Structure 1
Amino acid sequence: MTVAAQAPEGSADGAPVSYRYGWYTAIVLMVAYTLSFLDRQILTLMVGPIKADLGITDTQFALLTGGAFALFYTAMALPMGWMADRYPRKWIIAAGISVWSLATGACALARTFPALMAARICVGVGEATLSPSAYSLLRDRFDDTRLPRAMSIYSLGIFIGAGTALILGGIIVGALETTPYVTFPLLGTYKSWHAVFLIIGPPGLLIALWVATLREPARKKTIDKVDTGSFSLTVIGQFLGKWPLMGVSLFIGAGFLSILSYLDAWYPELFIRMHGWKADEAGWVNGLASLTAGPAGMVFAGWYSSRCIARGQVDACIMMATVCAIGLSIFGTLMPLMPNATLMAVMIWPIKFFGGFNPVLIPAAVQMIAPHNLRAQLGALFLLSTGILGTALGPIVPAAMSDYIIMDESKLNISIAITAAIVGPITAILLTVGRRQFRERVAAMRAG
């Protein structure tokens, strides 16, 4: 069955909207996503200074990069998704950007572990507004054949933000190593790692103003009759109960896939611990891979899945996600076991390439099957599953394994390899089980 391109929808005020404005919308949202990952990933290059200053363990640091952030990021995603299914999405996103930008700046004021954790929680709350609203906006701007490509543009923000955080963060941290304290006019004197947050946080308020200028599109209607008058998990459960295996693939499978992706939170530290690299050196290697291989993977995933969908393979997104799981498992297991830093660095490129698949493919697949008034909420459920399983467990599982099972921080590379080797095959199975129901759901929507 070949998919015919749908005509562009009208805007909320009845004015015609072309795909050209949709691409502009995707770019603006990509810039916002870039900012979110810059604020989120900057911690990964400051493991040593923060641990030394606050006197914390690897597991506690993993809570800062994963647990504390992910707990509230995921907990708030569903109510934020409900709001995005009812209210103008651009204002929800703009408010969220303002919150996380101010919270990032507030990290500069943290002098204890609980204070820093509280600030990171607020970052997570603010960022919970972005993707559910963005997924819904893009669904209303694009048809099935263009949606994966639009998602790939939006999702470029992940690797552009993470790569910029690693490169610029490495430069900043390296430059400030010789200056333990930095003085800002009118603001006072701060330790070097505090200063990093003060530099990257507040400028996000300008991005919030930019997002607020976007035009809100009309919401595309589907055949489903879903009552979202009040927030309730029962409504989501009733929909997924009709397609249980599809739900397993799109949400549990995606969560396990994110565990593999988020293992890279420890990659800069591997180079520092195992090979004595400086933070700026580790940042350059990991950052360049994020800025090159990551976007290449996203663009390829969006282009190839769109091409397959146009040819009638409607489950192309899930098929390619399964390939991603296998690739991440293989290279994620081998990379930390390489005998030298050069081979480790080379292995990062395929990991980042495959890592670019998940943020494009699964959100696009979710939007293809979502009822019109559950689009943001099901997008939020994707974030919930990837947050709980990926953002939280990805960094924490190998850290906890090295702290409490192997009981040797120098063996972190072994823990990472074991995690990748076990999680990869499980993920491939979870993604595969729901492909048939996914095809049936898409066919039912088109028949209606």
Structure 2
Amino acid sequence: MAGITHSSGRPEQKSYAYSWYTAAVLMVAYTFSFLDRQILNLMVGPIKVDLHLTDTQFALLTGGAFGIFYTVMGLPIGWLADRYPRTRIIACGVALWSLATTCCAFARSFPMLMAARIGVGVGEATLSPSAYSLLSNSFDKSRLPRAMSVYSVGIYIGAGLALILGGSVVELVARSPEMHLPLIGTVRSWHAVFLVIGPPGLLVALWISTLREPARDIDHAAVETGRSFSLVRIGRFLATWPAMSVSLFLGSAMLAIMSYMDAWYPELFIRTFQWNAAQTGHVNGLASLSAGPIGMLSAGWLSSRMIARGRSDACLRLALYAAIGLSVFATAMPLMPDATTMAAMLWPIKFLGGFVPVLIPSAIQMIAPGNMRAQLSAVFGLTVGILAVTLGPVLPALIGDYILHDEKALNLSLALAAAIVGPVATLLLSVGLKQFRACLMAMQHEGSGPA
């Protein structure tokens, strides 16, 4: 693989040491990404009251406004990342979303807050397509899933910190709805949260700008025919492997819907068992901080081990197993009769939810031509953005507002949404296993796959 020396043991170890450092720095960026993205989920009550929002409007802030622009920007950013320095693209994106998060502190209406969340979505669209491409040039095929798991751990670290921090903030809001800050004046307490978590991201942007770019293992003839962004070229590749494409891009997105429904889990305990924000934030946050990373690291370890033993379809197969398990737990959890059992079921949900962000991006990098890695990662971002990021929070809210007509029936809304989505995800993930294996074999024969 380009950028990794194979002539002797010591240079290879040195190269991989810096690669692991790169993965760790990107994980820190991903942590800030999810911290900025998820912090709203524990502040449902005060934000709804102050801005006079419905559940559906609030879901648009966490899903729609963020997800649509996160999705729309993914493909052009993926094209840029296949041709220009990825570390610079990521650094600019981190700076943008950090500034947009800070701007949330000055939002005094629904449109103002939505505009700021759109900025967060545009900035975060730079991260994963560029990071996936960068990591694929830093690791060989057997190490790549483990590297992806290290990077993706940032999802649950950021989400967990957001829940724990958010729960404490909401309790503070209950005691002191307003705060007086130097130079800024009087603000609502939930506004102050964004002033705390937004600016530090600028330091992360500077850190990322210091990373070295690994060499790209690209077929230069392919690059000459693919310098311009082309949806036709992407579509041609997907149409060549239709069943595999359905599994990798639609099946994984449907599975991810159940993971993104956890935006409502903190509120679920509040409405069902009258927990306060600190209680639900700490329980949900601890589940994210513990079970989520363990699930991601387990997915990376298991898939790498299976690949090393000749199971080339390990990434997609494990995602299928996760879909079956997550369907059961995500449907049953909201219906539990007591808070203790419901809380205990958060752990398997977070554990299995950690499989998709590791396994599917790894699978995509294994079958992507060298000059399309970031673009196909952006297609994954496109489907996840349209279906999971947007519908995950919105679907239960729509069921509650327009079918059940009862915001207090959030438990039923979540169970119904999971019962619909889970079997569909399982079916879609299963149809592409055979073709995924065939594509991997074809890439190996052509010599254009990852080393």
TM-score by shorter chain over 0.5? yes
Q: Is 1:216 matched up with 2:213?
A: yes
Q: Could you report, residue by residue, the CA deviation over 1:374-432 in whole angstroms, capped at 9, with x for unpaired residues?
A: 00010111111111110101111111011001101111110110111121111111111
Match of 1:9 in 2: 4
Equivalent residue letter for 2:156: F
Q: CA deviation at 1:263?
A: 1.1
Match of 1:281 in 2: 279
Q: CA deviation at 1:224?
A: 8.4
2:119 to 118, 122, 132: 122
Larger mean CA deviation between 234-243 and 151-160 belongs to 234-243
Q: Is 1:194 matched up with 2:194?
A: no
**Residues 1:317 and 1:186: Cα distance change in structure 2 (over 3 Å):** same
- What SS is found at the alignment partner of 2:179? strand
1:425 to 401, 405, 423: 423
Using the alignment, how far apart are the partners of 1:434 and 1:224 within structure 2?
29
User: Which of structure 1's runs of 4+ aligned residues deviate more than 4 A?
Assistant: none
Match of 1:3 in 2: none
* Residues 222, 445 of structure 1: 8 Å contact kept: no
Matches within 5 A, 1:76-155: 76-155=73-152
Matches within 5 A, 1:7-406: 9=4, 18-221=15-218, 225=222, 227-406=225-404
Unpaired runs of at least 5, structure 2: 6-10, 447-451
Q: CA deviation at 1:9?
A: 2.4
- What SS is found at the alignment partner of 1:100? helix
Q: Could you report, residue by residue, the CA deviation over 1:250-289 in whole angstroms, capped at 9, with x for unpaired residues?
A: 0001110111111111000001111111111110000000
Using the alignment, how far apart are the partners of 2:243 and 2:259 within structure 1?
23
Q: CA deviation at 1:223?
A: 9.5
Larger mean CA deviation between 209-218 and 189-198 belongs to 189-198
Using the alignment, how far apart are the partners of 1:318 and 1:403 within structure 2?
35
* Residues 224, 371 of structure 1: 8 Å contact kept: no
* Residues 309, 316 of structure 1: 8 Å contact kept: yes
Unpaired runs of at least 5, structure 1: 1-5
* Residues 169, 190 of structure 2: 8 Å contact kept: no
Q: CA deviation at 1:173?
A: 2.4
Q: CA deviation at 1:225?
A: 3.0
Using the alignment, how far apart are the partners of 2:123 and 2:2 within structure 1?
34
Q: Could you report, residue by residue, the CA deviation over 1:220-270 in whole angstroms, capped at 9, with x for unpaired residues?
A: 135983633111211100111111111101000111011111111100000
- What SS is found at the alignment partner of 1:18? helix
**Residues 1:145 and 1:325: Cα distance change in structure 2 (over 3 Å):** same
Report how many aligned residue pairs link the two structures: 439
Using the alignment, how far apart are the partners of 1:221 and 1:377 within structure 2?
14
Between the aligned residues of both structures, percent identity stands at 65
Q: Could you report, residue by residue, the CA deviation over 1:330-380 in whole angstroms, capped at 9, with x for unpaired residues?
A: 000110000011111001000000000000000000000001110001011
* Residues 135, 367 of structure 1: 8 Å contact kept: yes
